[in-house]
Structure formats: structure tokens, C-alpha cells
Amino acid sequence: MKLNNIHFRSLTMLLLVICFSSFSISSNKDFKEKSAKDVKLIFPFLVVGEIKIAGAHDLFLDVVLKEHGDLTIQEIGLVYNSVTKSTIIDNKIARIKVEDKFKERIRNLKPETLYYVRPYAITPGGVLYGEEFVISTIKKGNFTYSFNQNGADAATVNRIKAAFDLATTYYNNFTSIVKHVTVNYSPGTPTADANFSGWINMGANVSYQKAGTAMHEMAHVVGVGQHSKYTELMKGTWQGKRANEILQMMTNDPSAVVKGDGMHFWPYGVNGAHEDDESDFLYIMNALILQGMKVDGLPSN
Ligand SMILES: [Zn+2]
């Protein structure tokens, strides 16, 4: 992972440096040396990971404290706002403790909105802000479904509905995919299947009537294993850039790549009920990788 250098400065510290500099002009050699030494105060130094990920309501960022410096760091975190130069009195996310490396999720943001973000450190000498960067949240997805119940009992209807309500929430929060599909209860289908035209069959097997399977089938509906662009980009490993970056950043593994065959991808492809641990992280990752594939050129329609 490449990192952007971020230098901390504060008005307080700048004034301190200016004071020492002007004083040293009229002082003796010893004082000058002392002043010069004092001027070499090392400031905290933070870097923000180059790979930044945006959903419609969330941002995911890596921050590394590369240098603690000569000042006690009392608190560290991120500030953000929809206008430039936000401070700790605007929107602040403080870490519980000062860590050398952390991953931050900024929540409850508005879709399609520019946010100005910068890391900060609070020291006895004042608040030091890192270089500001600007990032936009994505358009909210609009993935909708209609449901052919085909005489399913109430419990089955509730399970399948709950699965797709949850799965579409992840798509609509973490992708900008727009598609309407038909979910069809099909007791003769062993597990579930789907195609690019927007048809999803859900079988009678209860363990496959969950959100993970719903997301797996939704991935097929938006091209995974179903579109020529998928075949073009999946050569054992994903040939696009963004889906791989997302996997690398979110799993803290700079060498990670999305793998797959002609029909499926992994990890986070929920390729079978046994892979569905119902975790928030799994569903977020599945949606983010699909958004990455979309950015890399996989059409949803
Ligand atoms: Zn499949």
C-alpha cells in the first residue's frame, strides 16, 4: 500500500519556531545552539492510506502514526465535514487510545456528498492537523425486487423476504447498482440460481434462504459468471484494479487479489450456505467487491 505523506503543522508551533529563530540572532553561541536544537522539535507525523473506500453513507480509511514526535500525543483521530478545514469542534472521531495504525469507518454520511477529512493529534502544544483530503460518498444504490411466492408457506415467505430485504440494504448502502429483479420461490431448485436478465430462483432448502445466498445470487444478476465482461476480467484472478484494492485495504493484506473461475469469485463470494456466517463484515465485503467490479467495468444491466 502506498501512503501519502502528511505533515503536521500548527500555528502554535509555527509561532514557537519563529520566536526561537528571532531570539537566536541576538544571543550568544551557546544559546543559538540550544535554540537550534529546540527548533528541531519533531512533530507527530501521520500518513493516510492511499486506498480510500466510499459507500453511500460510509467511508473507510487507514491511518498510520509514522512518528510520535517530541510532544505527548493525548488523543488521535479524524475530523470531517462537508466544508473545508474541519476542526475537532466539527465532526470528530477520536480513537480510544493512541495507536500506531488504525482503520476508521466514518458513518452516517449523506450520499453523493463531498467530505473534507483530515487526521489530527492533540498535544499539550495544541491540536495538530494533517493534510486534508477530499472524498465523495457514492450514489445510493437502487436494487429492488419483486417476489413470486408461488404458494410458499408463511415461514418460507418471511425467510426469503428477510434475506432479500437485508441483502438489498447492503447493496443500496455500499454499491451504486441500479437493478430490479424478480425473486421466484422455486421448491424444485436444489439451492438457488440466477441470471443476468434479473431472475432469481430460491429453492426450498432453508439454509439457502438467507441474506448471504441472496447476495450471492444478486452478484450473478449483476454479471458475476453471467456477463462477457466478467469472463474477460476474471482470469483466475481479477484483472481489474478497484475490486483488488478494496480487498487489500479492507483485509490489511497488500498482496490480496480477488480470485475466481468462470462462475464465482472468492473470498467473500458466499459460495454456499456454509460460507454465510451472517456477519456484517461478510455482507459489506461482498457488496464492496461488487462495487469494485462495477468500477472496473462489469455492467449491472
Ligand atoms: Zn452461484
Tell me how far the alpha carbon of residue 195 lies from the centroid of ligand 1, in angstroms: 10
**Where along the chain do the CATH 2.60.40.10 domains lie?**
3-136
Tell me how far the alpha carbon of residue 213 lies from the centroid of ligand 1, in angstroms: 9
Tell me how far the alpha carbon of residue 192 lies from the centroid of ligand 1, in angstroms: 8
Tell me how far the alpha carbon of residue 34 lies from the centroid of ligand 1, in angstroms: 69
Tell me how far the alpha carbon of residue 246 lies from the centroid of ligand 1, in angstroms: 22
Tell me how far the alpha carbon of residue 158 lies from the centroid of ligand 1, in angstroms: 22
Q: What is the pLDDT of residue 281?
A: 98
Distance in angstroms (rounded) separating the CA atoms of residues 150 and 295 = 36
Tell me how far the alpha carbon of residue 45 lies from the centroid of ligand 1, in angstroms: 46
Q: What is the pLDDT of residue 190?
A: 96
Distance in angstroms (rounded) separating the CA atoms of residues 200 and 221 = 8
Tell me how far the alpha carbon of residue 225 lies from the centroid of ligand 1, in angstroms: 8
Q: What is the pLDDT of residue 36?
A: 39
Tell me how far the alpha carbon of residue 279 lies from the centroid of ligand 1, in angstroms: 19
How far is CA 228 from each of CA 75, 189, 259, 262, rounded to the nearest angstrom? 50, 25, 17, 10
Distance in angstroms (rounded) separating the CA atoms of residues 66 and 101 = 8
Q: What is the pLDDT of residue 47?
A: 83
Distance in angstroms (rounded) separating the CA atoms of residues 14 and 7 = 13
Superfamily of domain 3-136: Immunoglobulins (2.60.40.10)
**Mean pLDDT, 10 residues at a time, over the chain (301 residues)?**
40 33 30 43 85 98 91 94 95 95 97 96 91 96 98 98 98 98 98 98 98 98 98 98 98 98 98 98 98 98 96
Q: What are the residues facing 177 on neighbouring strands?
A: none
Q: What is the pLDDT of residue 39?
A: 57
Q: What is the pLDDT of residue 150?
A: 98
Q: What is the pLDDT of residue 230?
A: 98
Q: What is the pLDDT of residue 41?
A: 74
Tell me how far the alpha carbon of residue 218 lies from the centroid of ligand 1, in angstroms: 9
Tell me how far the alpha carbon of residue 193 lies from the centroid of ligand 1, in angstroms: 6
Contact indicator for 258, 238 with CB cutoff of 8 Å: yes
Tell me how far the alpha carbon of residue 217 lies from the centroid of ligand 1, in angstroms: 6
Tell me how far the alpha carbon of residue 264 lies from the centroid of ligand 1, in angstroms: 6
Distance in angstroms (rounded) separating the CA atoms of residues 228 and 17 = 61
Tell me how far the alpha carbon of residue 188 lies from the centroid of ligand 1, in angstroms: 16
